[in-house]
Amino acid sequence: MSWRRSLAACALALGASASSAQNFAADLQLPCVTAPEAEALVTAILPETIEALSAACAKQLPPGAVLRGSNAGFIARYRSDADAVWPNAQKAVSRVIGADASGILGSNVARPVIASLLAPAIVKQVQPGECASYDRIVALAQPLPPRNLAGLLVSVWQLADARRKPGEKRPALTICPRSS
């Protein structure tokens, strides 16, 4: 793995904002991840992301909001799926940071550590005025299997990528174009 790729991956993992990680990696093209890898990665970090979103939005939401309530059962269900899909999510992480990290990624603590680093980086992008919208998304997602929510989020990610104009800044991590 090149030192530049390692530094870019570390910047992303350590919570650099999307724009600063993008600027850092401007000369570095991180490899794309496949849609199934992206879905596994999203599923793997959903529990910690929802917990971080709850903490970040608690003061902006009314007392009855889903993100202010106890989501223990919901989070436990999502955590179970997160652990189950981790082997596929490892492929996405390995693709980005390099195959020589596979030994570290295979440990039992890798998923929670990566999720605990990525979740705050994701939630850091949330504006206080958006909390009610995120609360609604989480409320609507509660009955869904975690993989369905991940699939929806990845589909929105793909739509956003497809709408970017040529020359427009792309996110540091992209989903590989679909094969025809």
Tens digit of pLDDT for each residue in 120-175? 988 998 998 999 999 999 999 889 999 999 999 999 888 888 888 887 777 777 88
The whole-number pLDDT of residue 118 equals 86
The whole-number pLDDT of residue 2 equals 39
Paired tokens of 106: 């295979």
The whole-number pLDDT of residue 101 equals 61
Yes or no: say if 170 and 164 are a contact pair by the CB < 8 Å rule: yes
Q: For the whole model, what pTM was predicted?
A: 0.77
DSSP code at position 175: B
The whole-number pLDDT of residue 55 equals 93
The beta strands (E) that lie in the chain are given as none
